[in-house]
Structure 1
Amino acid sequence: MSKTSFPAIGTTAQLLVTDPAAITEADTLLRAFLADLDLACSRFRDDSELSIVNRVGGGSDVDPVLFAALRVALRAAEDTDGLVDPTLGRSMIAIGYDRSFADVPPSSARRVRPVRPLAAWRKIVLEPRTRSVTLPRGVALDLGATAKAWAADVAANTIADRLGCGVLVNLGGDLAVAGPAPADGWRVRVTADHTISTGGQVVAVRSGGLATSSTTVRTWRRADAVLHHVLDPATGLPARRIWRYVSVAAPDCLTANTAATAALVLGHAAPDWLAERDLAARLVAADGTVTAIAGWPAATLSTREVA
């Protein structure tokens, strides 16, 4: 087995392959795809296709990566009845997430004036034949809730198909696997911060996807409020911090991350929502209490996680 990692799309990309001879080509494929994704879908680049579409309210013959990512985002909105909404770009800017997270000022005395969402995702028009996009007036797209997870799925499957080996792609906590897994599965530590090698729970992943969404890792302060990047589409403000983080396993990373994000927005209603969809999940509450749903592996030690 071989692995590599590198900074990309505002996070850390991690790549593991079961065949050491494949790591160089796999790394090249992943880097190229993520570069295309960034140029197509970044909200923080003036020259990205997404920024252009947001500025002019749409476009025709848009980049195929953006068009595919937008179709995925609208499907996630439909599947969650708008809990995961791609039209929160203006709300994100209003709370201060208007640049790559590394450049967001950690604190400011200025109070947030939220932009109430328009709940307009149903009014976005996509024309596949011409790859045209039409946005409702006043709408700005933000694909942060879905594009990274979708990219993990695409990258893992593409590399496995091309190189014929087992592959794990982890994009900042959005993890997809493809091809033959190691005999005991891919050993993955599930925790709020993917850069920390302690805490959480180690699980074995053999297929599909695993995603974690958190209210505690990407945070900043405005006046007396601590903000995070998961917005409630009903208010345009960060979702109430009922859960420190939520991890979901699913047939693919996109489904897993969509559900984890929706769970943070749902708050106390999340366990029932996940159970109704038979999605295995691990929810860690603000006080550290752990709730396991729909067959998530039992913890070996405590049902409470230390902050």
Structure 2
Amino acid sequence: MQSKLSNKKLPLPHSLKFEAIGTRWRIETTQEVGVESATQVFETIRAFDMKWSRFRTNSLVTMRSKVAGSISLDADEEAMLLLYRRLYNISNGAMTPLIGRTLADLGYDASYSLQPQKSVHNAVAWDTTLELRLSSLEFIQPALLDIGAAGKGLLVDRIS
């Protein structure tokens, strides 16, 4: 007979906690995380957050919501955006990273107000807003991206 305790997941003895790209994170491990490793993890998170978080007023993504321009991409970021482009195409625009302003208008904004605006903007069209080039994402017009689950997955890959 199996013990009921064996089915429960016990917390691991070492963990790191932080907030990034609009959510709370917790990394648990059986091994102690040294200062150097923790510093590398947090620096990776900070750099990612400064580029992709729509919850930071000073991130590149937030800047591009105000002024057109470009964001340089590494190979993994380019792959993430190619995935989003494919999903956008096969869903006829229903699946889009260009949903950031809509989410903010609905109350999922930088301050987590949870207070919807009186007017909610629809997501803008990819072809009139973004151009994905080799190693860069060009914003033809300002737009607020939300890189969602694919972005969170990319961050997990970078810190693991």
Q: TM-score, normalization: structure 2?
A: 0.69
- Contact kept, 8 Å, 2:129 with 2:141, in 1: the verdict is no
Residue aligning to 1:161? none
Asked if residue 96 in structure 1 is aligned to residue 107 in structure 2, the reply is yes
Number of positions where the alignment pairs a residue of Structure 1 with one of Structure 2: 144
Q: How far apart in 2 are the matches of 1:73 and 1:127?
A: 10
Give per-residue Cα distances to partners, 1:189-212, cap 9 Å, x unaligned.
Answer: xxxxxxxxxxxxxxxxxxxxxxxx
Asked if residue 143 in structure 1 is aligned to residue 147 in structure 2, the reply is yes
1:125 deviates by: 1.4
- Contact kept, 8 Å, 2:129 with 2:142, in 1: the verdict is no
Q: How far apart in 2 are the matches of 1:50 and 1:111?
A: 21
- Structure 1 unaligned runs (5+)? 157-307
Residue aligning to 1:230? none
By percentage of residues, which structure has more helix? 2
- Contact kept, 8 Å, 2:128 with 2:140, in 1: the verdict is no
Give per-residue Cα distances to partners, 1:22-70, cap 9 Å, x unaligned.
Answer: x2143222211111111111112222111222222222xx3546x8436
Q: How far apart in 2 are the matches of 1:86 and 1:35?
A: 21
By percentage of residues, which structure has more strand? 1
Residue identity in the other structure for 1:27: A
Residue aligning to 1:13? 25
1:8 deviates by: 1.9
Q: TM-score, normalization: structure 1?
A: 0.40
- Structure 2 unaligned runs (5+)? 1-11
1:121 deviates by: 5.9
Residue aligning to 1:124? 130
Residue aligning to 2:6? none
Residue identity in the other structure for 1:29: Q
Alpha carbons of 1:26 and 1:123: their partners in 2 closer, same or farther (altered >3 Å)? Answer: same
**Relative contact order (alpha carbons < 8 A, sep ≥ 6): 1 or 2 greater?**
2
- Contact kept, 8 Å, 1:57 with 1:135, in 2: the verdict is yes
Asked if residue 78 in structure 1 is aligned to residue 86 in structure 2, the reply is yes
1:51 corresponds to which of 49, 52, 62: 62
Aligned residue for 2:123, secondary structure, equals: coil
Residue identity in the other structure for 1:146: A
Q: How far apart in 2 are the matches of 1:48 and 1:89?
A: 14
1:111 deviates by: 6.0
